[in-house]
Copies of this chain bind each other. A is one copy, B any other.
């Protein structure tokens, strides 16, 4: 299965075009500005000395690298000289401050130069990985080679130190990421040593050669076992996703069946035991980690934005490795829900955590300047423009501009369509370029017209898991032979459904969620009687669609019941039967927390 690069796919209008415009016009500049203010950009000058403000942190390289990567995707589609100028200034600083040997890392250049490649738990190779990814992206976007060449030099140095000389303080990175970056570098350079190094980092992990930090017992960064022996997704969710992505890459490129089986097992573990309905993963704030199966608390869900993005990266690679619609289904689940919720509707502020429920009075425990209250970490109730650990905003600003990466792939004469967006793609099929266009206003409707031009082909369309119509499918894809110039019309509908969780997710027992097609909905306090948990939704009455201009997708309205207010201040009284009817309004989950700090609820009670 061959991937169709975002460079060959143009999203022309509709839902994601609006999001891409927002990312291009607002997000990329908003993030740059915050990074400038916080010293991250100027840190590349490597002139910090003790006593100065803005002491570099050991993950700052990666923050800026992700920003460069996003800016590269943007300028690739519509040249932006201002962005390129910003990028080129940073590259000049990298060139100036890179070691003779190829080494580059802000923190270890100005703060602790004496301990390069000695500490596993700081993010040295993680930063290197992101710089490599950025360099590849910028090269592919602009054909400018300078950054790529600098990073090739750095990668060669890493190869020498870790793979040839083996003289560093650790064997494999404490925060995975470089594995998938090395595969990208291999793709653009065709130099096999990068693939070999990625494979080395993967296979050394968790072996006796691997140096584990005692504190985490190897679980945090998936070093508890050799990778082929890993059956369960554990530890820090972002680390896990980046590792598994690299594993899937290597499995595919090497035709490594055992590694492939491991990836399948780990993916299934995540999506059948540890994933929120929004596609959020990593339920615990402590260690930003996976916990035990089916532990998916709504109020204190951690569900870091970067982990959702990581799940897309993993699922995308699995899709190429093991064609099955479940992977693209997960990508769709994430992009419309647990990923998109990260960003305010104006594109300028961000969630690190994406909770599934907010009860403001409970979160207010955290507001008190008093440790006595803090037995539980509640996610913030509103998005921020910046946070000190700022991995998520630039991850968002690189993800949205490159979302066209997830639409198509090719196997033989078959074009696979995984996601539906109004777009045109140039796809090389047996040496011939054909054009595939989608006309659709998905996910406002499930109708998609697919026009093929330049040759005949087989089109395999993903039938979404939520689709109620009958399609003949193989592993979730419906196959059609389409002739040159022909339009294939498919209609998945856009059903509104009440969803239940597997009963093993005890915390959701007897609670239900509302989805319209791939989009999860939620109640928000400003539209509904409070507390939201008191509402019983009547799942038997019709759900009405109400157009909404601010949220891109409609609100949904249905009927329900609330208990009549009583003046009794008693905490406990005999059960009363005082339900009265009420209207219940739902908004797309991704749009919550754009109208103040409100109660919010995804999993609600129903009249049963």
Chain A residues proximal to chain B, CB less than 8 Å: 215-217, 219-220, 235-236, 271-273, 275, 277, 284-287, 289, 291-295, 297, 300, 302, 359, 361-362, 364-365, 368-377, 466, 497-507, 509-510, 512-513, 531, 533-534, 536, 539, 563, 565, 568-576, 579, 605, 607-608
A219-B372, A284-B375, A372-B220 known; A362+B500 contact, CB < 8 A: no
Q: In the assembly, what is the distance between CA of A466 and CA of B573, in Å? A: 8
Q: Which residues of chain B come closer than 8 Å to A568, judged between CB atoms?
A: 502
Q: In the assembly, what is the distance between CA of A294 and CA of B364, in Å? A: 12
- The residue in chain B whose Cβ has the minimal distance to the Cβ of A465 is B570
Contact of A506 (CB < 8 Å), options: B364, B369, B533: B533
Could you show 20 A-B contacts with beta carbons less than 8 Å apart? A216-B370, A219-B370, A220-B372, A271-B571, A272-B571, A277-B571, A284-B365, A284-B375, A289-B372, A291-B372, A292-B362, A300-B375, A362-B506, A376-B376, A497-B575, A500-B574, A500-B575, A502-B569, A502-B573, A608-B608
Q: In the assembly, what is the distance between CA of A376 and CA of B297, in Å? A: 11
A572-B500, A608-B608 known; A506+B359 contact, CB < 8 A: yes
Q: Which residues of chain B come closer than 8 Å to A375, judged between CB atoms?
A: 284-287, 300, 302, 376-377
- The residue in chain B whose Cβ has the minimal distance to the Cβ of A605 is B510
- The residue in chain B whose Cβ has the minimal distance to the Cβ of A604 is B510
A371-B287, A500-B575, A506-B531 known; A295+B569 contact, CB < 8 A: no
Flag if B498 contacts A574 (CB, 8 Å). Answer: yes
Flag if A512 contacts B575 (CB, 8 Å). Answer: yes
Flag if A369 contacts B292 (CB, 8 Å). Answer: no
Flag if A509 contacts B572 (CB, 8 Å). Answer: no
Flag if A364 contacts B292 (CB, 8 Å). Answer: yes
Contact of A373 (CB < 8 Å), options: B286, B297, B506: B286
Q: A284-B373, A286-B373, A509-B605 are in contact. List 15 more A-B contacts (CB 8 A).
A: A272-B570, A286-B371, A287-B373, A291-B372, A292-B364, A292-B373, A300-B375, A375-B377, A499-B573, A500-B574, A504-B531, A506-B533, A510-B533, A510-B536, A608-B608
Q: In the assembly, what is the distance between CA of A571 and CA of B504, in Å? A: 9
Flag if A289 contacts B373 (CB, 8 Å). Answer: yes
Contact of A608 (CB < 8 Å), options: B277, B513, B607: B607
Chain B min CB distance to A508 (Å) = 9
A285-B375, A372-B287 known; A295+B571 contact, CB < 8 A: no
Chain B min CB distance to A332 (Å) = 13
Shortest 9 CB-CB contacts between residues of A and residues of B: A286-B375, A287-B372, A509-B533, A498-B575, A509-B534, A506-B531, A284-B375, A510-B605, A289-B372
Q: Which residues of chain B come closer than 8 Å to A359, judged between CB atoms?
A: 506-507
Chain B min CB distance to A374 (Å) = 5
Flag if A294 contacts B361 (CB, 8 Å). Answer: yes
Flag if B536 contacts A608 (CB, 8 Å). Answer: yes
Q: Which residues of chain B come closer than 8 Å to A503, judged between CB atoms?
A: 531, 534, 563, 565
- The residue in chain B whose Cβ has the minimal distance to the Cβ of A514 is B575
Flag if B287 contacts A502 (CB, 8 Å). Answer: no
Chain B min CB distance to A201 (Å) = 22
Chain B min CB distance to A422 (Å) = 27
Contact of A574 (CB < 8 Å), options: B499, B504, B563: B499
Q: Which residues of chain B come closer than 8 Å to A368, judged between CB atoms?
A: 292
Q: Which residues of chain B come closer than 8 Å to A499, judged between CB atoms?
A: 572-575
Flag if A273 contacts B501 (CB, 8 Å). Answer: no
A571-B272, A575-B497 known; A365+B506 contact, CB < 8 A: no
Flag if A216 contacts B277 (CB, 8 Å). Answer: no
Q: Which residues of chain B come closer than 8 Å to A533, judged between CB atoms?
A: 506-507, 509-510
Chain B min CB distance to A212 (Å) = 12
- The residue in chain B whose Cβ has the minimal distance to the Cβ of A235 is B372
Q: Which residues of chain B come closer than 8 Å to A505, judged between CB atoms?
A: 571
Q: In the assembly, what is the distance between CA of A518 and CA of B607, in Å? A: 30
Q: In the assembly, what is the distance between CA of A236 and CA of B373, in Å? A: 10
From A219, A286, A287, A291, name the one whose CB has the most chain B CB atoms within 10 angstroms.
A291
From A503, A505, A513, A539, name the one whose CB has the most chain B CB atoms within 10 angstroms.
A503
Chain B min CB distance to A391 (Å) = 18
Q: Which residues of chain B come closer than 8 Å to A287, judged between CB atoms?
A: 371-373, 375
Q: Which residues of chain B come closer than 8 Å to A377, judged between CB atoms?
A: 375
Flag if B531 contacts A509 (CB, 8 Å). Answer: yes
Q: Which residues of chain B come closer than 8 Å to A292, judged between CB atoms?
A: 361-362, 364-365, 368, 373
